[in-house]
Amino acid sequence: MNRFSLRIGLVFLLVGMLTGFPTQAQSTVRLYAPASPAPRVQFGLDRLTRALEAADLKIQPRHDAKLSRKGIRVVVGSWDDPRIAALQASQPNLFPKPGKEGFVLHATDGLVVVAGADASGTLYGCLELADRIEQAGGLPETLDVTDQPEMVLRGACIGLQKTTYLPGRKVYEYPYTPETFPWFYDKALWIQYLDQLVANRMNSLYLWNGHPFASLVRLADYPYAVEVDDATFQKNEEMFRFLTEEADKRGIWVIQMFYNILVSKPFAEHHQLETQDRERRIVPVIADYTRKSIAAFVEKYPNVGLLMTLGEAMSWDDDVEWFTKTIIPGVQDGLQALGTTTEPPIVLRGHDTDPETVMEAALPLYKNLYTMHKYNGEALTTYQPRGPWAEVHRALSELGSTHIENVHILANLEPFRYGSPDFIQKSVRAMHEVHGANGLHLYPQASYWDWPYTADAATPRLRQLDRDWIWYEAWARYAWDVHRDRPQEIAYWSDKLGTLYGCGPEGHDILTAYEESGEIAPKLLRRFGITNGNRQTLLLGMTMSQLVNPERWRVWELLYSSDGPEGEKLADYVRKELQGAPHVGETPPQILQEVVAHAQQAVAAIDRAAPAVTKQKEEFARLQNDMHCYEALARFFDAKVKAAMLVLEYGHTRELRCLEAAIPLLEASVRAYEDVVRLTKDTYLYANSMQTAQRRIPISGEDGSNKTWAELLPHYQQELANFKRNVAQLQAPSQEEATADAPVALSPVKVQLLSSDGALYPLQAGQSLFQDEAVPIQQVAPALQALQGVRWSRSTQQKQGTTLRFKTTRPMRVLVGYFDTNDKAFVHPPDLETNANANDRGQAELLLANALEAKGMPPVQLHGYTYPAGTHTLSLSKGLCLVLGFVDPSAAIPNASATLRPETLDQLFD
């Protein structure tokens, strides 16, 4: 042996002594694992094997009960595996047993142990070791890791929904077919998605649909209820089995969501019923059909959970009965058919119901119940939740079951990229510490209604799971462990972004851009928005009417009382400023200043990183463009809100200088919006993925319209032109101008009343609103004074509700008055926050405030239901409301109230 060979041998001997790994058979790993592992353990073993082979290590599978004392040995098993038990017996307290889904990684003296608390824990342990092997290029020298998730459930959702309604159908009514959802039948796409979920340590997948049962099960008693042909039905069976089996391999629980009360279209047509009707009480044949559908589903797919919405298509009065006498018995019938008592989990959403009352009635009947509630409504606004919404979360979390946070829709983030790890980590911490939750349900960051695609104008179209990877990974990372050190997290994400874009240390600048831009939409919505619901697309902007007279657009008060730190609405701030009163919490000027600063810092950071980018250049350019879009929108809101503040000041002082000073600001907002149009016209297909009449703000999205910035720009330009014209008229009023806008009375449309209990009456002062009680009208808006209303007895409306049956030979609009009160004795106006059908006849829009005043009653707000020629029934729930006439649906409603108060400020923009 020459000296060179001797030296090399000594080096290898020294390395072996230092690392603890044997010097013999360095390239061979004895992999000890169960002979017949559970599917998810096998998945983990396969992943680990690929990582070892990629590190040039040869795998020698072993199933011996006794471990070899030589070479590199990797032992994989759950806590009850004999080898793991033997190791524990030979070396007591070698490693403590982790909690559910937890694992231990231990490496020393050439022995590597992967021990899971259960099959999922073993899976995650294998994944963790594989990740470390890939990062190090080989097996780590030593390991002593114990880890387990903090949140019990960590899941994402996919909507089997579309951006628009299917012909002849209502919201949520989408059968599972290849024509409607081609991606549902793409197994390769499912594998990619499931692999991403398990890589992020997610353990649940929610499939959202209105009524999935008629696409997945057949009922002997209702064979006509199936909504798909035989070939499609077989495909659906195959895909659902494929999906659930592949998900289980990855430790993922599939959960099927459905709305109530919603039935299949063929079933509804057979029984001459509506597929969904919020005012319909429980019908025996519908209850029987739903119960048997659920039973058949549970029998066919016993390992699939159920997530239900007790609402949007049923009355609160029926929630307890429906859950306890239809839903739960249906599940129990399915279990009985299977001959098992193992209850599949049922998740009850808190949306549009009284979840505490429902759970109180249900828990004695069924134990495996979970609750779910929206985190910030249908948006992302804060990591400092408070108020009544937080109280609901806390109450649900204290019921004793697992409470799940639903990060829902994200209407204020569409369509730009969002990925602020800091905001997300703080939000998950609030879920634990403020809401008491222990589960996460995550919506796509944008384009939920257009899955699997994003809104980007790219060819081929981009997929959400590729574009929005950071959204999924960040939420999953902190759902697993929210107590990660902030400096280390900055380093983690900076390195990840630097690697992705090939820009090294400039990855920190990209992270800065994500985190600065991540504050913009949340702050804007919580301080200036109308709602946290998906009827508002924030990043399309807002009109001056929505800023100076938000009540006309039905402000969702929980946005201000719960979805952010304490602060002031725009009108309150202006009033206090004029009064010299002290301000409280966040103020509009503060938020404007912060948002502009965030946007400028985001643009500066992303532009700094740009020269260093060497990979993913096209995607980086799209991300960079998004940051510039945020900056232009920040300028738009800054100028427009400042203009609105001056208009509100004019409302108090009537000084024209306020309006004159608002003009250049409004002009600046339009110029900023023109920049947004320039940045988006070739880069985005749309802003909002829900492209129906449910979207009302800033402009109606009916029939897929007004979904791009280019479509909105003319509205904002016209708003500016109207404002300039109206200010000029105020500066030099003429007699002609003063009389030109006198309100014109609406002409009535003749209808034939078919309701035997309702009677026509003229809308005039002194007339009573009810047949059985004298409640005289005091004032009527000029527009309504030529109309005839329909009145019922007060007791009938309160005990039975209001049913108007009528026949018309032409299209018309029924005018309905809702009393402006939250009192439960009154019918509340249509609400798109909780009822997706609340605008199917245009009834969600407030047509006229203070339309009528009557003695001892709250003011009346006017809405309208549009109908074609024919015979119709309008059913309203129990409580007091008014039918105030029948008019042509195209007739404009003059904006003059019954109180003859001074003009509203938003008239300045008409």
Query: What is the DSSP annotation of 176-190?
Result: --TTT-GGGG-HHHH
Residue, of 400 and 127, whose pLDDT is higher: 127
pLDDT at 297: 98
pTM for the whole thing?
A: 0.91
Q: Stretch 883-904: mean pLDDT, rounded?
A: 76
Q: Of 806, 802, 788, which Cα lies nearest the Cα of 885?
A: 788
Q: How are strands ordered across the β-sheet holding 72-78? A: 58-62, 28-32, 72-78, 111-116, 103-108, 143-147
Q: How many residues does the chain have?
A: 910
Contacts of 10 by beta carbon, 8 Å cutoff, 6+ apart = none
Q: How far apart, in Å, are the Cα atoms of 173 and each of 144, 168, 447, 663, 837?
A: 52, 10, 18, 46, 12
Q: Stretch 145-159: mean pLDDT, rounded?
A: 98
Residue type, 639: A
pLDDT higher than threshold 50 for residue 674: yes
Among the ranges given (95-99, 257-261, 506-510, 525-529), the one the predictor scored with the smallest mean pLDDT: 95-99
**Phi then psi dihedrals of residue 373, to 5 deg:** -150, 150
| Separation CA 438–CA 436 (nearest Å) | 7
pLDDT at 6: 31
Residues of the chain with CATH 3.30.379.10: 28-147
What three-state secondary structure class fits 245? helix
Q: Stretch 248-258: mean pLDDT, rounded?
A: 97
Among the ranges given (286-295, 325-334, 797-806, 890-899), the one the predictor scored with the smallest mean pLDDT: 890-899
Contacts of 725 by beta carbon, 8 Å cutoff, 6+ apart = none
Which of the four pLDDT bands, split at 50, 70 and 90, describes residue 26? low
pLDDT at 352: 92
Which of the four pLDDT bands, split at 50, 70 and 90, describes residue 13? very low
- What tokens does 383 get? 């990591």
pLDDT higher than threshold 90 for residue 207: yes
Q: Which CATH number fits domain 153-488: 3.20.20.80, 3.30.70.600, 1.10.3210.10, 2.130.10.10?
A: 3.20.20.80
Q: Are 543 and 698 in contact (CB under 8 A)?
A: yes
Domain 28-147 fold is Chitobiase; domain 2 (3.30.379)
Over residues 843-893, the pLDDT tens digits come to 998 998 889 999 999 999 999 999 999 999 999 989 999 999 999 999 988
Q: Stretch 411-423: mean pLDDT, rounded?
A: 98
The partner residues of 853 in beta bridges, in order of sequence, read 779
Over residues 713-758, the pLDDT tens digits come to 999 999 999 999 999 999 997 654 544 455 678 999 999 999 888 9
Q: How far is CA 393 from the centre of its chain?
A: 16
Over residues 314-360, the pLDDT tens digits come to 888 899 999 999 999 999 999 999 999 999 999 999 999 999 999 99
pLDDT at 24: 31
Q: Strands 802-808 and 870-876, how do they pair?
A: antiparallel
Residues of the chain with CATH 3.20.20.80: 153-488
Q: Of 697, 705, 704, which Cα lies nearest the Cα of 832?
A: 697
Residue type, 244: T
Which of the four pLDDT bands, split at 50, 70 and 90, describes residue 898? low
